[in-house]
C-alpha cells in the first residue's frame, strides 16, 4: 500500500465530486462564473470526470501493481503539466494568490507522488 497514491487519489476524488456537486462554487474563487449549462458541463467534464478517473486509476494500482509505475509517472506528469501551465500563465498575466497556491499544490503533488516509485 502506498500512502502517496492514496492521498493524491483522495485529492482528485474530492475535486471531482466537488465539480459535480457544485460546479459554480468550484470555479468562483478564480473569478469564473458557470452561468450556462455548457460552462457547467465543461467544469463537470474536466474537473469532475477527469478528477474521478485519475482517482480511480491511482487506486486501481493498489490491486494491479503491474501498472503502478506507469500510472504514477503519467499522473505526476499531468500534475507537473498543470503546474507548468500556471508558470506560463503567470509570465503572461499577473495572477492573484489562488493560482500561485495551486501551482505549489500541483508541483508538490507531482513530486510527492513520484516518491511512491
Cβ–Cβ < 8 Å for 76, 114: yes
pLDDT of residue 85: 96
Is the model's pLDDT at 1 over the cut of 90? no
The set of cell numbers assigned to 68 is: 503502478
Specify the number of domains making up the chain.
1
Q: Read off the pLDDT of residues 3-52 as tens digits, 9 standing for 90 and up.
A: 999 999 999 999 999 999 999 999 999 999 999 999 999 999 999 999 99
Considering only CA atoms, which of 62, 77, 65 is closest in space to residue 109? 77
| Domain range enclosing 55 | 3-114
The whole-number pLDDT of residue 105 equals: 96
pTM: 0.93
Residue 69 to residue 117: CA distance in whole angstroms = 6
How far is residue 106's CA from residue 48's CA, in Å, rounded to a whole number?
A: 17
Q: What is the mean pLDDT of the chain?
A: 96
The DSSP letter of residue 29 is: G
Mean pLDDT of 88-99: 92
Amino acid at each position: 500500500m502506498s500512502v502517496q497514491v492514496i492521498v493524491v487519489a483522495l485529492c482528485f476524488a474530492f475535486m471531482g465530486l466537488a465539480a459535480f456537486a457544485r460546479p459554480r462554487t468550484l470555479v468562483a474563487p478564480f473569478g469564473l462564473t458557470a452561468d450556462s449549462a455548457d460552462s457547467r458541463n465543461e467544469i463537470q467534464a474536466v474537473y469532475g470526470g477527469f478528477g474521478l478517473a485519475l482517482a480511480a486509476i491511482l487506486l486501481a494500482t493498489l490491486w494491479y501493481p503491474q501498472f503502478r509505475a506507469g500510472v504514477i509517472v503519467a499522473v505526476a506528469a499531468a500534475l507537473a503539466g498543470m503546474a507548468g501551465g500556471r508558470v506560463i500563465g503567470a509570465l503572461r498575466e499577473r495572477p492573484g494568490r489562488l493560482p500561485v497556491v495551486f501551482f505549489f499544490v500541483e508541483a508538490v503533488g507531482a513530486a510527492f507522488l513520484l516518491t511512491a516509485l
